[in-house]
Amino acid sequence: MNQTSAKDIYYAVSDSRMERGKGIYLYDSDGNGYIDCASGSFNLSLGYSHPAVVEAIKEQADQLIHARSGFQHPLINTLASRLVGLAPKSITSAHLKVTGGSTANEGAIRMAQRATGRRDIITLFRSHVGQTMTMASLSGNAFRKASVPFPSDTGTQVPDPYCYRCFYGQQRESCGLMCVDRIDDFIEFASSGSVAAILVEPISANGGNIVSPEGYFGKLRDLCDQHGIKLILDELQTGIGRTGHMFAAEYFGVEPDGMTLGKGLGGSGAQVAAILASDGLSGLPADDHSFTFGANIMSAAAAVATLDVIDDPAFLANVRRTGALIMERMESLKSDFSCIGDVRGVGLMIGVEIIDADGRENAKLTNHLADKAMEFGLIIRTSRNGLGNVLKFRPPLIITADEATLMCDRFEALMRAHGM
């Protein structure tokens, strides 16, 4: 395998050649193991090659990999009812004929547009809601939009609840959640006035691990109700146990009209995604949003096996416990290193914001730390959709306390060598 070359691959790839993975570790062709703080592309909720997922895929591959989604299959039926059963009570059905997060978000938007007869979508600054042309247009950063030849004109982006760098220059104690109140102005003066939905990540993931403050979702829900706007939660990264709860909706106590899922639902990397819909989003014809690789039976086997592991109070309690342990270590590093401006997170979704001496974002140092991380046995990714200065710690949810301690030890060594 080492003799092969990447010269025919369209995009640039790193020099590292990865050969196998187990648990929280990814191993290169020289046998070096790296703790993957990014769980692959934030999708390996159960880490690399979880035995239950591998077994489920192997067994199902022998039986039936794919059948047209117009037929029933016990695994598809089971996955749909498990997801509906676990979701907030507003959710009544699951649409599985999507291929990933981008097509799930597009489908949820189409459902909202059809249900309301309106067209506009509100998203947040720094959001990353996908990379199809529509979703790149709706993501809240110029570099995403700039890459789109035929941008969607339905989007309005509004300031996110980034309390550490509040757009309105407020302090949380006295702001009255201006970031929600002012959405009224954007509806009135920046949209077409015909807003179908607000699509929001409960914790802005690639935007910088931005955790919305207490009360944000209650107020956003009220605003949506006042305007007849559908509230859709993009739970691509926050869902399936990442926050120590099955869904972040549960942690924030919000009843959305729709939710989108993917990434961690596949456990160890199976391609599976879903739109969860309330009755208020019903009515989109079956063939209006249906993809060949959606509702894949082999992936459904992986997803059901993943839910079997994660839907366990002891498992979710461990996510909260290891998350608290990592947060505590990061907080203590913050007192040692002036370049750590903020540490924030919920469960195993943690961000470390890197700043310069004046408190401004220090993307250069952040990238340097991420580049050097592999020399310290870590894979760390940064917040490119935001200011690029947040190191993201979202290891597989199966991480043990000892492994979490080792991850923090390695990060501390990295900081001592390259931090400030």
Ligand X SMILES: Cc1ncc(COP(=O)(O)O)c(C=O)c1O
Residue with the closest Cβ to ligand X?
Answer: 101
Pick from 237, 268, 290, 296 the residue near ligand X by CB under 6 A. Answer: 237
Interactions with ligand X, residue window 335-374 (CB under 6 A): none
Going from the C-alpha of 78 to that of each of 60, 66, 153, 323, the distances in angstroms are: 14, 16, 38, 30
In the complex, the smallest distance separating the C-beta of residue 256 from ligand X, rounded to whole angstroms, is: 14
Q: How near is the Cβ of 128 to ligand X at its closest, in Å?
A: 5
206 interacts with ligand X by CB under 6 A: yes
Q: The tokens 């990061």 sit on which residue?
A: 330
97 binds ligand X (CB under 6 A): no
Closest CA to 164 of 211, 113, 130, 222: 211
Q: Which of 57, 122, 200, 205 binds ligand X (CB under 6 A)?
A: 205
Task: Report d(CA 119, CA 402) in Å as an integer.
Answer: 50
CA distance 256 to 236: 15
Binding flag, residue 262, ligand X (CB under 6 A): yes
Q: Distance between the two ends of the chain, CA-based, in angstroms?
A: 40
- Segment lying near ligand X (by CB under 6 A), choices 25-33, 94-102, 211-219, 244-252: 94-102
Alpha-carbon span 105 to 52, nearest angstrom = 28
Stretch that binds ligand X, among 222-230, 231-239, 279-287, 293-301 (CB under 6 A): 231-239
Stretch that binds ligand X, among 45-53, 99-107, 318-326, 345-353 (CB under 6 A): 99-107
Q: Is 269 in the site for ligand X (CB under 6 A)?
A: no
**C-beta of 127: minimal distance to ligand X in Å?**
7
222-236 burial, b at 16+ Cβ within 10 Å, e below that, comes to: ebbeeeebbbbbbbb
Tell whether residue 100 is a contact of ligand X (CB under 6 A).
yes
Question: Which of 129, 254, 303, 307 contacts ligand X by CB under 6 A?
Answer: 129
Q: Which of residues 382-401 bind ligand X (CB under 6 A)?
A: none
Is there binding between residue 239 and ligand X (CB under 6 A)? no
Asked whether position 102 contacts ligand X by CB under 6 A, the answer is: yes
- Is residue 212 within the footprint of ligand X (CB under 6 A)? no
Residue with tokens 């691990």: 209
* 8 Å CB contact between 226 and 305: no
Q: Which is nearer to ligand X, 196 or 273 (CB)?
A: 273
Burial class of residue 139 in the structure, from the number of CB atoms within 10 Å of its CB (0-12 exposed, 13-18 middle, 19+ buried): buried
Instruction: Indicate whether 296 belongs to the interface with ligand X (CB under 6 A).
Output: no
Complex with ligand X: residue 102 or 318, whichever CB lies closer:
102
Question: Under rule CB under 6 A, which residues in 109-128 are in contact with ligand X?
Answer: 128
Indicate whether 26 belongs to the interface with ligand X (CB under 6 A).
no
Applying CB under 6 A, which residues contact ligand X? 100-102, 105, 128-130, 201, 205-206, 234, 236-237, 262
